[in-house]
Structure 1
Amino acid sequence: MELTTTVGKVIECRAAVAWAVGEPLTIETVQVAVPLTGEVRIKIVASGVCHTDLFFQRGGDGPDVFPCILGHEGAGIVESVGPNVTSVEPGDHVIPVYTAQCYNCEFCKSTETNICNINGTFQLAGLMNDGTTRFTCRGQSIKHNMGCSTFSEYTVVYETNVCKINPGAPLEKIGLIGCGIGTGYGAVVNTAKVRAGSTVGIWGLAGVGLAVVMGAKKAGAARIIGIDINPSKENIGKKFGITDFINPDDYKIPIEEVIMDMTTGGLDYAFECCGISSCMKAAMNACKEGLSVLTIVGVADLTAEVSYNPIQLIYGRTIKGTYFGGWKSRDQIPKLVDAYLAKELMVDEFISHTMPIENINEAVELIEKGECLRSMVTF
């Protein structure tokens, strides 16, 4: 990458633009503006396609976020930086993340949460802090998404959302740590804190669910039960560490009853990775009395509600939610990359398809149909 030919200039590049709710993405030539104060412009090498991208594409956050550029599992190289950026410089290898870490807010100073409140309002609106965007296409402003927009060959993000990583990590793969792998793995080790010897149940064996499986195995769980209506997930799940597989379609009784029959009183830990309210309720019903923990990982429709009988909580069950697996992004994601390089964390195994950005809608279709773990789109 010839930095001197682009620094300080508007860049024209390819991007997959979501113009309206439910419409296929279209490959466009977009203009990417120069980064302003506290901003970083990144050349994206590759990006994963995540179920959360589908959530936004389907209008899960409303029509006001369109037109926009989706994508939040990317990795790339810093092309240029705006004023006052000190933690990264041109040429650095980085992962942009949707979870900021500013170091200064009350949340960043707390050891109890990884949520950061800087830039949050504008990020949800798809804008930068000055109320504008850095993307233009056909003379129209294009909004950002999740503070990342990695379905663009170049993107502009805040320094607070950039993790500098080991340059030895393969950029065409490592972006998955920035969402799916990081979220699932962290849900186990940071949020639920799974104990060795425990029994774990995981609803949904897509990318995030399999990262939960990986984390449960790492934590020393004695029994890891995968629950999915796709029968092909049984063999896939075993590669990551499940000991048992249940397809709810194979039973005429509720899945929680099946689990109660095959365990001693239920699960010690349950993880809901589907984003489906009925699965969240079933997972709670499958938890044993005493010390059990249900962790909600999947992103549900914003109108979804789940009801539980309070007596379930009084008898010692706990419900938790996890946001990006509880990781302090800028401090801890680079350490996960190092763990991958040390062969202590699976990443390659999550990638089932790799294709150019021009095939983005094929990648979306594959994940919609459950025919892939993760597709990587490359530039």
Structure 2
Amino acid sequence: MALSPEEASTVGKVISCKAAVIWAVGEAPVIEQIEVAPPEAGEVRIRIAYTSICHSDLHVWKNQNTKGLHPRILGHEAAGIVESVGEGVTDFQQGDHVLPIFMGECKLCAFCTSPKTNICSNFPVNPMRGTRVIDGKSRFSIKGQTLYSCYGSTFSQYTVLEHQSLVKINPAAELDKVLLLSCGASSGLGAVWKTAKMEPKSSVAVFGLGTVGYSVAEGARVAGASRIIGVDINPSKFELGKLSGFTDFVNPNDSERPVEEVIQQLANGGVDYSFECVGNTKLMESAFNSCKPGGSTIVLGVTASRVAKMELTPSSLLAGRSIVGCLYGGWKLSDIPDLVERYQRKVRSSSHNN
């Protein structure tokens, strides 16, 4: 999916293209013709080849705190091709295949140089920013009016990002598949492999069967889990879940008992690891209480409210249970090319076997 000659000639010029614009909180997006400015120093302009909707996009869409940041363009789970680079950018060039990531990695701050976190202090997750870091301005406009960004603003045919929030990947990778590694799939796999560091033969409960939940199950299956219990109120997700490695399913609506009690019975006193993939504080509590003494709960779900709270009893912690959260599965951006290569090896192996 190389750039066309027409696209290759747009360097340094404003590009007119289509984007899904949100004009006010909660309003349906409108496909509009917009203008995308060239990248400034340290930035990269990319053509979005494929994008998808993540649930956190919906959180931002409905967030009343973003009233002053409209009109705006949402979207962050995507894959694209570099159209041009700004001054000083040496690690990307025109035609590179890339994944935009909703967080950054400057590789210089105390957080980036620490193996304990993937949060960058210079390019943290910030859906409220709405503009670029270098000058506090937007690269989007519509009929002379400022259009605000959000994460990567991938619901546009072209977008501009700091190079610290992009990952260059193998051009042989199918962009319509690996785009999920820019958010959902990586989040689930990393929660198992990077954050939990799950041991073989572990028992697992996964709360919420969407892209992230299925990816958690896949990661647990590859890691050698002995039992993977899926929890969701939508029974149609159970059949698909078998392909990801689920061995059991629990629909909380099918029992009068709390879901944690059902899981405790299924898993002989509780699971070794539980993963909350929805962003619901009550589910976080249930996930924590589903673990056996010494078990660990990993929270991946993003809550709609920054002040949401959950309740845990000190006695549960004294029993050796732990709870930890992770963004993007704990991966740093520099980890992602290897993750894409791991996927590519699986694709090549499957093609060879067929």
Q: Could you state the TM-score of these two structures normalised by the residue count of structure 2? A: 0.94
Match of 1:239 among 240, 243, 264: 243
Tell me the CA shift for residue 75 of structure 1.
0.7
In structure 1, the residue matched to 2:317 is 313
The 3 A distance-change label for structure 1 pair 61 and 192 is farther
Judge conservation of contact 1:271–1:296 (CA < 8 Å) in 2: yes
In structure 2, the residue matched to 1:199 is 203
Judge conservation of contact 2:45–2:160 (CA < 8 Å) in 1: yes
Tell me the CA shift for residue 63 of structure 1.
2.4
Q: Aligned runs of 1:112-151 on 2, under 5 Å? A: 112-120=116-124, 124-129=128-133, 130-146=135-151, 148-151=152-155
Tell me the CA shift for residue 29 of structure 1.
0.6
CA distance in 2, matches of 1:341, 1:40: 25
SS in 2 for 1:225: strand
2:344 is equivalent to residue 334 of structure 1: no
The 3 A distance-change label for structure 1 pair 343 and 122 is closer
Judge conservation of contact 1:60–1:301 (CA < 8 Å) in 2: no
In structure 1, the residue matched to 2:166 is 162
CA distance in 1, matches of 2:147, 2:233: 37
Tell me the CA shift for residue 204 of structure 1.
0.4
Judge conservation of contact 2:76–2:153 (CA < 8 Å) in 1: yes
2:304 is equivalent to residue 301 of structure 1: yes
Tell me the CA shift for residue 187 of structure 1.
0.5
In structure 1, the residue matched to 2:115 is 111
| 5+ residue gaps, structure 1 | 346-379
Whichever residue aligns with residue 137 of structure 1, its letter is I
Tell me the CA shift for residue 5 of structure 1.
2.1
CA distance in 1, matches of 2:64, 2:196: 27
Range that drifts further, 210-219 or 131-140: 131-140
The structure whose RCO (Cα within 8 Å, separation 6+) is larger is 1
Q: Deviations over 1:171-210 (max 9, x none)?
A: 2222110000000110010111111111100000011100
CA distance in 1, matches of 2:231, 2:150: 31
Judge conservation of contact 1:205–1:227 (CA < 8 Å) in 2: yes
Tell me the CA shift for residue 138 of structure 1.
2.8
Whichever residue aligns with residue 157 of structure 1, its letter is L
Whichever residue aligns with residue 224 of structure 1, its letter is I
CA distance in 2, matches of 1:191, 1:86: 31
Whichever residue aligns with residue 131 of structure 1, its letter is G
2:198 is equivalent to residue 219 of structure 1: no
2:279 is equivalent to residue 275 of structure 1: yes
Judge conservation of contact 1:70–1:145 (CA < 8 Å) in 2: yes
In structure 1, the residue matched to 2:39 is 35
Tell me the CA shift for residue 123 of structure 1.
6.2
Whichever residue aligns with residue 122 of structure 2, its letter is I
Tell me the CA shift for residue 109 of structure 1.
0.5
CA distance in 2, matches of 1:137, 1:171: 28
Tell me the CA shift for residue 65 of structure 1.
3.3
SS in 2 for 1:288: strand
Whichever residue aligns with residue 185 of structure 2, its letter is I
Judge conservation of contact 2:48–2:159 (CA < 8 Å) in 1: yes
Judge conservation of contact 2:16–2:34 (CA < 8 Å) in 1: yes
Tell me the CA shift for residue 66 of structure 1.
2.6
Judge conservation of contact 2:102–2:125 (CA < 8 Å) in 1: no
Judge conservation of contact 1:122–1:128 (CA < 8 Å) in 2: no
Tell me the CA shift for residue 328 of structure 1.
1.0
| 5+ residue gaps, structure 2 | 349-354
SS in 2 for 1:220: coil
The 3 A distance-change label for structure 1 pair 316 and 122 is closer
Root-mean-square deviation (Å): 1.6
SS in 2 for 1:201: strand
Judge conservation of contact 1:35–1:41 (CA < 8 Å) in 2: yes
How many aligned residue pairs are there?
Answer: 343
Whichever residue aligns with residue 196 of structure 1, its letter is P
Identity level (%): 46
2:254 is equivalent to residue 250 of structure 1: yes
